[in-house]
Amino acid sequence: MDSSVALIDYGAGNLHSVHNALNAVGANVTVTADADVVRKASRIVLPGVGAFKACANGLRAVPGMVEALEDRVKNGGAPFLGICVGMQLLATRGLEHGNHEGLGWIPGEVKRITPHDPAIKIPHMGWNDIALMPHAKEHTVVEAGEAYFLHSYHFVAEDPYHVTALTDHGEGLVAAVTRGNICGVQYHPEKSQGFGLATLTRFLEWKP
């Protein structure tokens, strides 16, 4: 198991809880806003809490960080995990209070959850089941189970094959996306007790 992880600090993540959860599964974590550290990282985790625009702007405000992520993840093949808004930033764009550019690593848009039943409350908050897509049964990071969610916007992928798992909240919502060495989860592993810790353990063991 390769336990060396760069946890990106860009002012928009639940760093303390994610750091503690990674430590709990034996990861050797470096919390960093240094692009040079990211370029040398074995594995990378991008957390995120709040609005898409604020997170996207925060990430781009860190000198050289987006370029370092492109080099190490897209070109270098380092295993990558995005959490919550960190997962949403993988999209082409986010549509929260305008049209805001994402990283564009997994084509799609992040749109407001708009259930047909007005009794369905937004944000989607609390524990909910996760179901794997049929084509993702053998995925080694994401598994079926129950996890903790907190979000008002959801990832709408252009290619259904990139959708690894769904959850249900008045409609099917993307719970996880994957493309090659890039994985994102909408749920919070750091708040999902044993299920979440198992997700992080599998990420450390992942060899995409």
109 is catalytic: no
| Active-site option among 19, 169, 183, 190 | 190
Inter-axis angle of helices 193-205 and 15-24, to 10 degrees? 70
Residue 56 CA to residue 93 CA, distance in Å, equals 10
Q: Give the DSSP H/E element, type plus range, for residue 166.
A: strand 163-168
| Active-site option among 84, 100, 169, 183 | 84
190 is catalytic: yes
Please give the angle made by the CA atoms of 22, 27 and 28, to the nearest 5 degrees. Answer: 120
101 is catalytic: no
The structure tokens listed for 103 are 């990283």
Q: Give the DSSP H/E element, type plus range, for residue 60.
A: helix 52-61
Residue 81 CA to residue 95 CA, distance in Å, equals 22
The residues assigned a catalytic role are 84, 188, 190
